[in-house]
Structure 1
Amino acid sequence: MASAFVVGDHFKMGVTELLEKTDSSLPEGLRQKLNIIVEKTGQTTLPFSTARQLNVYLKDQGYPLYLHELLEDSSLHLPGFVKPPRNPELVARLELIKARLANEEYNKMTRNVNNQEMNRNGTLADFGREVRSAKAVVVTVFNFLVTVVATFACSYMGSQYLFTETTPRVVSAVIATSVVGLAELFVLVRTMEGELGEP
């Protein structure tokens, strides 16, 4: 926070004239302070308290010189900011919080990673489920084919007692095989729908 002015040459010249004109009426303490400010070379500061004393003196004595005129080429003196030291306990707590947040973010990023992962397509458990599912489909298709072939063979062989010619025997075997194949296909579709979770 500002507590002084940085005075320029205009202020020094005005105060020098004031000091020469007023020999006895200027208070001794204020005279000494102003003499010190005028005699300094380089950057010179005027404290606010001294500026107030000078302003009161100029008003009381009725001088045509005003303080704001003296301070035309002056500026505020702003002291440099001194950064206070950080509390070591606070720094330790902040480091602990940063580490905890970094750990939570790492866990969030790696929660889908599984050390049993075989490749990018899934884990070993997923691979086992897929093998079992494929095995069930192969067994079902093989069962369907065996049932259809066995039905044709049984119908063809059993129809020899009814028909003597080959053509009616083949036709009757194809009809029986079609009926059994459609029934087997219906059961197969219903089973697959049940496995997929559909009604």
Structure 2
Amino acid sequence: MCVSRCLRCVSVSLVPMAIVCMLSNILLLLPELKIHFLLEGHVTREATWAPGLWGSGFLVLLAARAFLRSSRTSGCCAFRRQMLVQVVYSCVCLLAAGFCCLVSATALSQGPLCLYNTTSTLTWGVPLQPLPDRHAGYLYNRTLWSAVCLQPRAVVQWNVVLFSVMGVASGLQSLLCGANILNAVLGLILGQGCCHNKV
């Protein structure tokens, strides 16, 4: 059964990506692996939204579990009912992973929250965000990475790597969930035996 095999493959593929997103988001909440930045509210806003934990993490894991269970369903009516449920699961999963990917891209373009030196004093803010009268963005100017942010140490590299990993993983999840919507619709229309070879 092609539909069931595809459900199993999507399910198995989504699990490691969900774990990667969850770990990336947890690490983003702990710059320098210290909790006091989080407790004091000195963590990048997009990381505190935790889309890698609840969106590309928890919701995707629930959907992966449901996909795996549905791949074992037998009986024509039960299988079609499960495919309808899988369309709903896949759509929710697609939205959650898509949101995580969008938040990651936004965080990358804005830059991290950090302690930086203004003309008068040290202050917490987002000094690397692109401005019309200034540089187009810090991603293309690596000299800004260590020159601007004073605390947390290496926060720019930390955010760039982890948001990039989370964005790529959630983007792949979105593609898999989109493919799974097509797979579930195919299973809904053709049923379980759509790929059985006739002897």
Settle same-fold status: TM greater than 0.5: no
Structure possessing the higher radius of gyration over alpha carbons: 1
- Return the TM-score normalized by structure 1: 0.28
- Return the TM-score normalized by structure 2: 0.28
